[in-house]
Amino acid sequence: MRRMKEEKQINIRVKEGDPFLAHETTINYNPTEFVLDFKCMTPLQELNQQSLLIKHNIVLLTPWHARSFLDALTRVIGDYESKFGTIKKPIELEKAEKLVKKQQQKTTVTSRQAENYFG
C-alpha cells in the first residue's frame, strides 16, 4: 500500500521597503555579526534654521553571510566593469575632497601659529 504525500500550502508575504539612496555607509563588527548602517542625509530648512535629516537603514549579517555578500558584490562589480568600464570617482567628488583638504591645512596652520604665539 502506497502512502500519498500530503501537500501543504504556504502563504508568503513580502513587505517591500522604501527605495533608499545611501550617501554614506558605516560598517562595524563584533564577534557575532557585521553591522552595515546605510545613511541618507538631506538638508532641510525649518523655521529659519538649517537642519539635516538623517535616515538610516541597518543591515546585520553573520560573518559567514558578510563573506558571501562580499563575494557576490565583487562578482557583480566585476561584471559591471567588464560591460561598462572601470568605476571611477566622480570629478566633482575629487574637487570637493581637495577643497576640504585645503581648508583642513589652513586650520592646521592657524592652530600651529596660535600654539607658537601662546607657547
Q: What tens digit of pLDDT does each residue of 5-18 get?
A: 778 888 888 888 88
Statement: residue 109 has pLDDT above 80: no
The pTM score is 0.64
Q: What is the DSSP letter of 19?
A: P
- What integer pLDDT is reported at residue 119 of this predicted model? 44
In DSSP notation, 14-82 reads --PPPP---SEEEEEE-SS-EEEEEEEEEEEEETTEEEEEEEEEEEEE-HHHHHHHHHHHHHHHHHHHH
